[in-house]
Amino acid sequence: MTTRIAIFSDMHGNSAATEAVLAAIDAERPDATYCLGDLVGYGARPNETVALIRERGIPTIMGNYDDGVGFDRDDCGCAYKDAGERERGQQSLMWTRSVTTEENKEYLRTLLPEIRFEAEGKRFRLVHGSPRRMNEYLFEDRDPRSLERIAAQADTDVLIFGHTHKPWARKVGGVLFINDGSVGKPKDGDPRAAWALLTLTPGVPVQVEMRREAYDVAAMAAAIRASEGLPDHFATDIETGGTR
C-alpha cells in the first residue's frame, strides 16, 4: 500500500498563494493533508487566509504568528537577530492583531502544538519550528552536531517543520528532516508558493517532492502596499522570493 501526504505552512496572510496550493493539493488527492502553521502575519489578507484553512478542517499546528495574534501578544516570537527585521516583524504583528477578527483569533488559539502519527511503518512528528520551540529556526546549513542532537531527542523517524521559509530535506542521525518551505512568503529566491508531497511505501525510503505553484503575486503585493501600517518591504519580499 502507498500513502501520500501533503504538507504546507507559512501562508502569512497571502490568500492567493494559499488558494493556489490548496488547488494543487486537491488535484493530487492525497490521503492526508496537514498545515504547520503561521497562517497570519506579513500579508494583507489574514482573515481570508484563516477562512481557507478553517473551512476545510485541515489539522493545523500553531505557529509563532498564530500565537502572537491569537493571544494578542506584544511580541511576534520571530527571534530575529537583525534590528530592521525585528522592527518590521513587530509592525506586522500589531497590524495583523488590529485587523484579524475575534472569531479568527479564537480559532488561532485552538491550533495544535504538534502532530504525531504513524504511516506505512514510520513515525512522523510535525512541528512549526522545531521539537523544542515553535520559533526555533532549523536551517539546512545549521551545525550538523546541533541537528544530530535534535534528531536524537525527536523520538520520530520523520521530522517535518517550516518557519524558515526555505525548503530542504536530508537525513540526519537516522531521522529524515523535511522543511516544506513557505506558501506565502518564500525566502529561497523563488516567489512561487511552496509545499511538500510525501509518498510512503512500505520498505522504501520516504519520497519527498518539493512543489511550487504560481499565483497572482502582483495582486498580493498591491494589497500589502495599499494597507496602511504594513511596510512596503513585505511586498518586495513576495515579489523577489525573499531576495533583494
Write the burial class of residue 124 (CB in 10 Å: 0-12 exposed, 13-18 middle, 19+ buried).
Answer: buried
Q: Locate 239 and state its grid cell.
A: 515579489
CA geometry: angle at 156 spanning 154 and 160, to 5°? 80
Run means of pLDDT, 10 residues per run, the chain, 244 residues:
96 98 98 98 98 98 98 87 85 96 98 97 97 96 95 97 98 97 98 98 95 98 96 96 84
Contact 237, 10 (CB under 8 A): no
Contact 14, 49 (CB under 8 A): yes
CA–CA separation, 5 and 16 (whole Å): 22
Q: pLDDT tens-digit profile of 42-94?
A: 999 999 999 999 999 999 999 999 999 999 999 888 877 788 888 898 999 99
Q: Which residues face 171 on adjacent strands? A: 176
Rounded to two decimals, the pTM is 0.96
Q: Is 163 left (phi over 0), alpha (psi -120 to 50) or beta?
A: left
Contact 213, 197 (CB under 8 A): no
